[in-house]
A and B are shown apart, each in its own frame.
Chain A
Amino acid sequence: MFNGLTQIGIITVMNLRNLPQRIGTSSVAVFGVACVVGVLIGVMSMASGFQRTMTNAGSPTTAIVMRTGATSELNSGINYEQSQLIANSPGIQRADGEPVASPELFVIVDLLKRATQSSANVPLRGVGPSAFAVRDSVKIIEGRNFEAGRNELIVGRGAHSQFANLDVGSTINFGATEWTVVGIFTAGGGLSESELWCDSRILQNAYRRGNSFQSVRVKLTAPEALSELKTAIASNPQLEMDAQLETDYLAAQAEPVSMFIKAVGYPVAILMALGAIFGAINTMYASVSTRTREIATLRALGFGSFPVAFSTLFESLVLSLIGGAVGSVIVFLLFNGYSVSTLNFSSFSQVVFDFAVTIDLLIQGVFFAAIIGLIGGLFPAIRVAKLPVATALRET
């Protein structure tokens, strides 16, 4: 008599080596799980990519000041005097005696999406030289920076890839003014890469905004300096403003879209998993029923019911894990880094982001596959355990 563990080992190995004989049904189970895991990871990578773009480049020492009650830069408003008051508040870093503060103008222009030629709300940001001091991740990767006082644009890497006619050297019209694209920049994969930038003074004139802005970004001396800045702003009756960390602001802006993708993605993945579980149970029942005599023979030879049942469960698990791995790899190869854009309703403008198939998601996918395999194999395994040896031997 073998001991239990050896029995389990022998039968499981035998079972797995027999898999090629049942290649048809087995590959159906593998394929089913691959599809489920693929869709799960695919949809979730969209959510994680969006989240990453929105929040990645946010710096914990950057604060953004907007009008109290404004939900995004779009509906905030700050006049020149206020922007100066904000810049000279305590808690803000200074370089060469000047505060590191960037008053910015944020408008939306209608451009065409490259892929569909349909219109898209593209953010256009008017900035001064200090914008580059506040965001140290911004780098020009092609062409040059815009020159102050000229109708020149630099475009983010994402905007350049998604929207038509933004190559260096091309010209675009916004209303009566003509602009020349002079450079392309990156910003650490962050939200700025979806934007077009130009000189804020020129933009103020083009949009008849007088000398006003919508937000002031400031570099804090430390993340804790935020409360100092907040108190200073609150105590100044001329400033009906609110300061918040850029990271918090961006997280809030990202939430609705991320929530939407997840609210759709998870139920879809769970329903698909349910379907795949049914498929897996069917496959395993089929595998058991074609091997009825073989199993009965093993039992007659003295193998216990548990080792035989375990091998069935294990087979199902292995098939599902193979499926999970196949699905993950395919989605990774197909979608990782795939660039798309969507309208972020909080800022009413387009955000360009890449699908991000992260390690976390891959682990989630494999975990999901394992659950499908376990549940799918459980019932057939129980049937195997209960198989009456005498009648099963006679079965054809």
Chain B
Amino acid sequence: MIRFLLNQELREEQSIDPNMTVLNYLRGYAAKTGTKEGCASGDCGACTVVIGELDGDEIRYRSINSCLTFISALDGKQLITVEDLKEGSKLHPAQQAMVDCHGSQCGFCTPGFVMSMFALGKNNSHPSHEDIHEALAGNLCRCTGYRPIIDATEQMYEDKTPDQFDRAKEQTVARLRALQQDAQPEITDGSKYAFNPRTVGELATLYKANPTAKLVAGGTDLALEVTQFHRDIEQLIYVGDIAEMKQIEVFEDRIELGAAASLTSCYNALTDEFPDFGALLHRFASLQIRNQGTLGGNIGNASPIGDSPPALIALNALVVLRDGDETRTFPLEDYFIDYKVTAQQPGEFIEKVIVPRAQAGEEFRSYKVSKRIDDDISAVLGCFNLRINDGRIEDARIAFGGMAAIPKRASHCEAILKGAAWNKETIERAKEALALDFTPLSDFRASKEYRSLAAANLLTRYFVELEATEVTTRVSDYV
């Protein structure tokens, strides 16, 4: 049985379809229709709700896409929807500001925006312009052109009085504590099951016994199987409640990232070490997705257009796979074998990712190329990690997404660079060598010719950025 707070109301669910999304639960089961379905694919943000989660004595609030979240993820948490914000007849500051600034026209995206704004208010007391953009980049509005919504987000901060969630904090913390279960909760509708293991050990045992079960962390990709491709998932194992797998540890020589750590958590750890990784994660889907999605999931779904693998490969990251009590560790680049085929064996799961710390002389850059700056899938993603000393390239690791059936290193290109002089001629030769590394495909995102040309041009950008540091080279830097 899962137990959670629907705002302040205790909900206990045992006999329920584990494939049900939080959105369908709200609109169908709970008859709370304030939360809207705009796409059921996590791309529009109309269904945004906020999850409150214990973090010591605090409650951490995160915006998520309710359309991509299976209900087992709610266990032990507080679910806050747009209906919960108003106190009696008084609108919440996030709501009042939207009214005052004319931020709501047709109103269908509005509940989602309000919830993203509410979450921002809970997480950031003095947001910059960039922070506001980041918080709202996963919400689409077709009516306003966004300006009044940004104004509303700024105005929301003028009301500094604690809201009912602040005032009820102690009580909510106590209630959430009481909900935490030691035993592994389980829900089923009789034919489909979902389990929430509490430890890696429990997970290993459970997965060994049920190797056909689907592991779900954020669910931001897996849920599409249900909402878009209409497949039933008979057995789900939710790994988002396993504290060990959400850990992020920084050692002297490496950073270890639990496979179930959210991309948002990884963002904070990786940005300090590799600013460009941060810039990439900033454009990785939307905040709602990053709040749910994980590095483990982004690797495990083995998409050729996942944004984190090329960066991790360029940084020489290792992946740790676990099977029962056994683990094995190997370079991430060897994990990807062919389109959607990986080195992972049945019963094995990704436990963690290990990223070596930045070395002196290494210059890591990642460049995402897409039709839209916010929340888009890369046409090409190029990640470059060169070690340059005394005008000579000592080492080069380059990986691309969107250029092959898997995230892949550019070995011919690297071979030209390694040991060569750091100059324009070398870069031109390296660009030509890319043709030997990749034969990309054409699709609705881009033609193969465009992918090839843009990929090569990214090397030019890398060169210019390192040579002429005063020059602005990225349109996304203009905010």
Answer whether A and B are interacting partners.
no
